[in-house]
């Protein structure tokens, strides 16, 4: 499967990504550290750090981190946000092209909302090569969740996407019944055994401006035809203006999947 060229679109949202995207649940980090057993001072490798969304909590916890980021502007933002942490370094490179120092080993390799953008022919073998036997690879995303009581705004706005030929597909099932693609990939790599798969779901409230700022960090919206995007955003504002508080609720899901190096 070729690398998706949309992975380079995120650099256009470098200035707004950190604020617009949600923080990952605190429990996710608690479970990550408990399951992998890594302790402050351990050396972590982050693949696709963006502006440092998942880097900051682990840097604050006292870990040494090498973070690899494809986008020049995103890497610059990450260096800015992580400037207070002497044990964190940000390298501008794709993970595929990055050449680690000879003999480099890490206690944990992790990727937050980035792993799917790495070449599947390379990602597991390269991660495994940087871990000792028993080391861990952890991956998670932040995706749109549709619990039974999801906001009807998304049914209404879906019609606009469909009219524009920018269909977003059917709502994803709740994380607990989503197809277990990541765990399957980890197992099928022959390099890792799956030791954890844990879902998280939470909801956030957004004004029209806040929600549009969020959409402007998504690859599909960044690459959308400008006229289509303009019309879509006008419809978002119209629909939310009709609500007493002018806000919507978007639910998020993250699924933490952890593999142990064989």
pLDDT digits (tens, 9 = 90+) for 128-147: 999 999 999 999 999 999 99
For residues 107 and 80, the answer to whether their CB atoms sit within 8 Å is: no
Cα-flanking dihedrals φ and ψ of residue 88, to 5°?
A: -115, 130
Both structure tokens of 106: 């890490």
Whether residue 172 has pLDDT greater than 60: no
> In the predicted model, what is the mean pLDDT of the chain?
93
- CATH for the 5-146+171-204+252-261 domain, from 3.30.1370.100, 3.60.20.10, 3.40.50.150, 3.90.105.10: 3.40.50.150
For residues 168 and 215, the answer to whether their CB atoms sit within 8 Å is: no
The burial class, CB within 10 Å (0-12 / 13-18 / 19+), for 50 is buried
34 φ/ψ sector (left φ>0, alpha ψ -120 to 50, else beta): alpha
With b for 16 or more beta-carbon neighbours within 10 A and e for fewer, the 185-198 pattern comes to bbeebebbebebbb
Measured CA to CA, the distance from residue 88 to residue 109 in angstroms comes to 14
Q: Which helix (H) or strand (E) holds 257?
A: strand 247-261
Instruction: Give the model confidence (pLDDT) of 11-30 as tens digits.
Output: 888 999 999 999 999 999 99
Both structure tokens of 126: 């390269």
Residue 1 has a pLDDT of 44
Measured CA to CA, the distance from residue 100 to residue 84 in angstroms comes to 24
The stretch 159-171 carries a mean pLDDT of 79
Per-domain residue ranges of the chain: 5-146+171-204+252-261
Q: What is the pTM of this model?
A: 0.93
């Amino acid at each position: 499967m070729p690398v998706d060229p949309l992975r380079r679109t995120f650099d256009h949202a470098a200035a707004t990504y950190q604020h617009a995207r949600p923080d990952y649940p605190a429990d996710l980090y608690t479970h990550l550290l408990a399951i992998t057993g890594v302790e402050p001072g351990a050396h972590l490798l982050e693949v696709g750090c963006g502006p440092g969304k998942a880097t900051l909590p682990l840097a604050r916890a006292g870990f040494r981190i090498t973070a690899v980021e494809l986008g020049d502007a995103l890497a610059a933002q990450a260096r800015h946000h992580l400037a207070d942490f002497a044990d964190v370094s940000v390298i501008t490179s794709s993970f595929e092209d990055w050449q680690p120092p000879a003999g480099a080993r890490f206690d944990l390799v992790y990727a937050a909302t980035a792993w799917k953008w790495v070449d599947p022919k390379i990602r597991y073998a390269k991660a495994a090569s940087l871990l000792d036997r028993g080391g861990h690879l952890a991956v998670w995303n932040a995706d749109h969740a549709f619990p039974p009581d999801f906001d009807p705004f998304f049914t209404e706005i879906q019609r606009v996407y469909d009219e524009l030929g920018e269909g977003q597909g059917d709502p994803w099932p709740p994380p607990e019944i989503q197809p277990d693609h990541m765990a399957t990939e980890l197992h099928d790599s022959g390099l890792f055994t799956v030791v954890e798969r844990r879902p998280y779901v939470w909801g956030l409230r957004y004004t029209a401006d806040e929600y549009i700022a969020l959409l402007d960090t998504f690859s599909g919206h960044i690459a959308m035809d400008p006229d289509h995007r303009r019309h879509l955003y006008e419809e978002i504002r119209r629909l939310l203006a009709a609500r007493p508080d002018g806000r919507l609720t978007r639910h998020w899901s993250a699924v933490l999947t952890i593999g142990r190096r064989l």
